[in-house]
Amino acid sequence: MRFKHGFFAAVLLLAGLVSAPVFAQEEWYYNKPVKTITFENLKNIKSKDLDGIVSSYINKNFTDELISELYDKMFALDYFSDVEVQAQPGKDKGKSVNIVIKVVELPIITRIVFQGNSEIHTSELKDVILSKERDVYKQANLWADERAVRNHYIDSGYNEVKVRCYIERQGEDIIEHISISEGNKTIVKKINFNGNVVVTAKTLKSKISLKEAGLFSEGAFQEASLTADSKAIVDYYKDRGYVDAKVLNVKQEPVLNEKKQRKEIYITFEIQEGSQYTFGGITFEGNKVFSTDTLEKLVALKTGDIYKESRFVRTRWAVQNLYYENGYTSNQFVPEVNKDTENKVISYVLRIYENPRSHVEHVIINGNTKTKDYVIRREIPVEPGDIFSNTKIMTAFRSLNNLQYFSSVQPDVQQGSESDLVDIIFNVEEQGTTQLDFGFTFSGMSDPDAFPVALYAKIQNSNVFGEGKTLSLGTTLSTTEQSVNMGYGQNWLFGKPISVGFNIGYSHSTNYALRNYFDFYSGEINDDNYYMEYEQHEFNLGTSLGYRWVKDFGTLTLKGGITGSLIDNIYDDDRFVPYDSSISQYCNNWEPKNSVWSSFSFDARDSSYDPSTGWFGSQRVAWYGLLPEGIFGFAPEWGEKEFYLRTDTKLERYFTLLNLPVSETWNFKLVFMGYTGLSMQFPFFDTSIKRSNQLYIDGMFNGRGWEIYNTDEGRGCTVWSNYAEIRMPLVPGVLAIDGFFDAIAIKDSVSDFFSGLTDDDWYYSFGPSIRFTIPQLPIRLLFANTFRVQNGNVVWCDQDGDPNSNKWYSNFHFKFSFTNINY
């Protein structure tokens, strides 16, 4: 039996404890802190799936209200037929309470069997139903499955389908049977219109969902679509001033096609168009909170224009939303139409019945089985007692989405206990937060004896224990490189939006670099053809601190940090002199390399991971060189010899080009993305920036497709990267197909960039890509075509920058990449 109230919960609890000797003292457990909450009798449900629900009660004092909430949450899961809560003394001799929850699980569905489906495959039907094998059996889901299968058949044109769902019990297990009698399929053979004069039949056909059977359409007939299509026809007319337009009748003439074993239906829409009207204006009455001038600015129609129904609806919505945004959720808006049939003018009076502002009664969170309540609540800028604000709800929606803890976030507003009170409900669905990156790269090519493959792996959990903390571990393994690094971070500290992060790592690599070689015959130094081998060891440590201001219009973030490294390059300095002086700087001695940085960003994207609209901008400044050589008297030659300032400016913009519904579950959507970024390095104190520390075209995120980062042309002190993308979600939240175009320029110095940027400094690439939009699988597969412009002509190049004779369509090459997100 389910108990909802604290009084009954306490009665049940006391009844369960009365026989235990340890509870001889009356009500010993009240107001004692809860130390642990454990479960007994779990069989199919995992205990870790329940931790996120009960963890928020740990360290709270034992009360009737706490037990009542526990009962409510356990039964709300629909996992259990019975729940019993018991209190036991902690190991500290009764100073704390251990709660034990004994449960009786509902039976699970072991199999789902479809019978009678010959036209629609079983796998397709399994995707439609709510129940899944190994799910807890729920009677409500059985009815929902029956409706879902029936609707799917009707949507496919099987209007005579009959579906029956029933269960078979085998001990404690359930087998769900779905019996189907498909009947004949009904297709639309022909669609006709009568009474249309000002609008052509071709135009009207394009506005309705029913389509004639043909080469590009199955023509499935759906009875319910007739009503929706009639409305679509009327709406189209009303949006062109024909306010009296009606669909008087829809004739259906079915014909049985015995040869094809289907019904073919002829449909005729009988239309009355009426006269065209102009807009005569709108008058507001009853408005006291907002002035008439303020409301008139929201009117989307001009007096004297052809009347458009959709613009009047938009006007009414804008007025309602203005009140709604300011907490007036219980107002009434009653439009009164005045139609001058003689002059064909239509005008409105919008009567507004104002009520007091609404306040938030409860903020309710449902569906978080792992993430703790407080992790979600701190992202919601609304608390009980606040004035209702739809903008703040959307801010919370954006913040919760950007956490990437949930596959779905659905805010809802419901009436509270009084007319001026509302409950705000956030329904969330947890998703995996463990991200695993793995793969391989080719290496060791300069040493024929080395195994030419490097394996790398990184595992990161961005919601450790459901507390919103991030922990990562990465490694690279090959014959020439080994590394390991760890990181930790969290976005809230001391209950404030303060982010903090730490990382530590070690790497060892065997490298080959150009060396200076004295040619005794010519008497010159050759630095182009001779290589040396050296080993590099590096320890690195970094920390960062930041603060966020979450506003309705976007999120502002200020961050700063410091990084430090100790590097040792091991080689025989009596024999070799490397061409790159940054190698000799760390020769056979642990030398430092440090930097301090600060950044500011503004994020107005609707989602940080896969945006559809909004923009992002950031500015980062970093200073390299904190411990100059000779800073310590006991080690006069120890320290940094390179000092420079680096700036990174980034700006990106997103907007949706198309979002057309194709089916109930898929929209044809196109999103435009544009990016520009300028990075510059400024050397100081008469030092130069070593080649290995200069900016470069990485070919993976900027200048995609190029592999010139190890050449002199691919490195410099100024890089201007630009790219544009057209993105099409193929499977929303899983997979997208993109088209990209990159243009990147690189120069040796900042002064050269602003005074002498030419065509020879630009590198271009374009092509399609397959992008996984799952946060745990940030992989991108690129097919890049690389080219340059020389003397006004397009020159196709291979990925190494060398011109070739390929045609543009045979110049594509594969590039493995990752999804790069700016924060």
- pLDDT digit string (tens) for 488-509? 999 999 999 999 999 999 999 8
* Residue range 118-133, pLDDT digits in tens: 989 999 999 999 999 9
Domain boundary among 78, 105, 132: 105
| DSSP annotation of 692 | G
Listed range (407-411, 584-588, 648-652) with the worst mean pLDDT? 584-588
Residues, the chain, total? 823
Would you state the pLDDT for residue 494?
A: 92
Same domain, 405 and 260: no
Is a pLDDT exceeding 90 seen at residue 683?
yes
pLDDT digits (tens, 9 = 90+) for 143-152: 999 999 999 9
Q: Could you tell me the maximum CA-CA distance found in the chain, to the nearest angstrom?
A: 107
Percent of the chain whose predicted confidence (pLDDT) is above 90: 59
- 660 and 802 share one domain: yes
Predicted confidence at residue 162, as pLDDT, reads 94
Please determine, for residue 10, whether its predicted confidence score (pLDDT) is greater than 80. Answer: no
Residue at 779: amino acid letter = I
Helix, strand, coil fractions of the chain, as percent rounded to 5: 20, 45, 35
The average pLDDT across 241-248 equals: 96
Q: How confident is the model over 437-454, as pLDDT tens digits?
A: 766 554 444 454 554 566
Over 90: is that where the pLDDT of 237 sits? Answer: yes
DSSP per-residue letters across 549-584: EEETTEEEEEEEEEEEEEEEEES-TTT--BSSHHHH
Confidence at residue 259, expressed as pLDDT on a 0 to 100 scale: 87
Residue 14 reports pLDDT greater than 60? no
- The per-residue pLDDT for 452 is 52
- Structure tokens, 628: 């100059």
Regarding whether 369 and 327 lie in a shared domain, the answer is no
Domain count, the chain: 6
**Of 3-7, 92-96, 665-669, 799-803, where does mean pLDDT reach its minimum?**
3-7
Answer whether residue 447 is part of any domain: no
Token pair in block for residue 537: 């060891």
Q: Mark whether 29 and 162 lie in a shared domain.
A: no
Determine the 3-state secondary structure of 207 from DSSP: helix
Q: What pLDDT, on a 0 to 100 scale, did the predictor assign at position 373?
A: 92
Examine residue 449 and state whether it is found in any structural domain, yes or no.
Answer: no
Residue-range definition of the domain harbouring residue 148: 109-181
729 shares its domain with 804: yes
In this prediction, residue 26 has a pLDDT band, given cuts at 50, 70 and 90, of low
Question: How far from 375 is each of 73, 413, 497, CA to CA, in Å?
Answer: 18, 21, 11
Among 6-10, 307-311, 457-461, which stretch is predicted with the lowest mean pLDDT?
Answer: 6-10
Give the C-alpha separation, 624 to 53, whole Å: 47
State the pLDDT confidence band at 524, using cuts at 50, 70 and 90: low
pLDDT of 802 higher than 70: yes
Query: Which residue matches tokens 């669905």?
Result: 429
Please identify, among 372, 401, 430, the residue that sits at the C-terminal boundary of a domain: 430
Mean pLDDT across the stretch 575-604?
Answer: 89
Q: Are residues 244 and 290 in the same domain?
A: no
Sole residue written with tokens 């204006």: 281
298 and 372 co-located in one domain: no
Question: Are residue 651 and residue 737 in the same domain, yes or no?
Answer: yes
Together in a domain, 653 and 784: yes
Average pLDDT of span 652-658: 96
Domain assignment present for residue 67? The answer is: yes
Which are the contacts of 85, defined by CB distance < 8 A and separation ≥ 6? 9, 12, 13, 16, 67, 70, 71, 99, 100, 101, 102
In this structure, is residue 512 part of a structural domain?
A: no
- Residue 779 confidence (pLDDT): 87
Average pLDDT (520-546) is 79
* pLDDT over threshold 70, residue 20: no
761 & 797 share domain: yes
Q: What's the confidence (pLDDT) of residue 523?
A: 52
CATH at residue 396: 3.10.20.310
Which pLDDT value is given to residue 289? 94
Same domain, 698 and 789: yes
Q: pLDDT class for 522, splitting at 50, 70, 90?
A: low
Co-location of 344 and 386 in the same domain? no
Q: Under 8 Å CB-to-CB from 211, ≥6 apart: which residues?
A: 188, 191, 205, 217, 219
pLDDT, position 6: 41
With respect to residue 487, please indicate whether it lies within any of the assigned structural domains: no
How much is the average pLDDT of 273-277? 96
SS3 627: coil
Structure-model confidence comparison of residues 600 and 691, the more confident one = 600
Q: Looking at the domain assignment, is residue 620 inside a domain? A: no
Q: Residue 290: inside a domain, yes or no?
A: yes
Under the banding of pLDDT at 50, 70 and 90, the label for residue 223 is: confident
Question: Which of these three, 413, 430, 447, is where a domain ends?
Answer: 430
Q: Are 385 and 360 in contact (CB under 8 A)?
A: yes
Average pLDDT, the chain: 88
31-89 pLDDT per residue, tens: 899 999 999 999 888 888 888 788 888 888 999 888 888 888 888 888 888 999 998 99
Does the residue 242 lie in any domain? yes
